[in-house]
């Protein structure tokens, strides 16, 4: 049985706008959350810092709730969001340039 995580307040250190990266798959259109938020909180006299992405800016020094693992406070609900994988169309195209001829060779030599 998983024990519930403790909750405290974190202080926002910085909220920085992230410009859309040029990505051929999205044609440079922003598909991720736009702000990178850095925060800090203390547990038993030890400071922990992390970052997460947010669709809106959060003001510096604003207090936000954070839930953390009491056995390892570095593990918390804000910084442990899984990253969104980015696979560009260029990478897929390069992979196909190698895989299609290889598949053709395998199929062509298999029929002889």
Q: 34-67 pLDDT, tens per residue? A: 899 999 999 999 999 999 999 999 999 999 999 9
Predicted model pTM:
0.61
CA–CA distances in Å: residue 31 to residues 26, 53, 66, 91, 105: 7, 12, 25, 18, 38
CA-to-CA distance for 13 and 22, rounded, in angstroms? 28
pLDDT tens digit sequence for 80-102? 554 444 455 566 767 778 788 88
Token pair belonging to 7 = 């909750």
């Amino acid at each position: 049985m998983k024990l519930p995580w403790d909750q405290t307040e974190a202080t926002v250190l910085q909220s920085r706008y992230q410009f859309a990266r040029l990505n051929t798959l999205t044609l440079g259109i922003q598909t991720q959350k736009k702000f990178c938020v850095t925060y800090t909180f203390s547990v038993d006299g030890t400071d922990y810092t992390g970052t997460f992405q947010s669709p809106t800016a959060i003001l510096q020094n604003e207090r936000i709730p954070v839930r953390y693992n009491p056995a390892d406070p570095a593990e918390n609900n804000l910084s442990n969001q899984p990253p969104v994988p980015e696979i560009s169309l260029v990478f897929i195209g390069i992979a196909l340039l190698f895989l299609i001829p290889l598949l053709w060779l395998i199929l062509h030599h298999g029929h002889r």
